[in-house]
Amino acid sequence: GFSMGGGMAMHLAYRFHQDLAGVFALSSFLNKDSAVYEALKRNGGVLPELFQCHGTADELVLYSWGEETNKMLKSLGVSTSLHTFPNLNHELNRTEIEELKTWILKKLPIEAEKSNE
């Protein structure tokens, strides 16, 4: 999800649907006292991978908030990747979408890839 949609995606995945293959959060963050962190402290299973992107010039959702979210989730056992986009504000760019597409295609089962050809 993008912005608040990314926050919602992280909440749903890490609190209620830990059987997902992955979660993406673009220009998103979790509050410092998020219920997600509390849920992960009690978790003992395998967690969905997080693909996260954030622009350094984002004035609506600060880059530092996304970076802090990433570090916190990683410390709680989530396999994360944070892709940083210099000078990108609270928006998407082509490179970000292409990296996301590549990540999604790696996550999809082989059958899904064959139907896209």
Alpha-carbon gap, residue 10 to 24, rounded angstroms: 8
Q: What 3-state DSSP class applies to 100?
A: helix
Indicate which residues carry an active-site annotation: 3, 58, 90
Alpha-carbon gap, residue 91 to 55, rounded angstroms: 8
User: Degrees (nearest 5) of the Cα angle 111, 82, 114?
Assistant: 10
Query: In 20-93, where does DSSP find H-type helix?
Result: 35-41, 63-75
CB atoms within 10 A of CB 5: 14
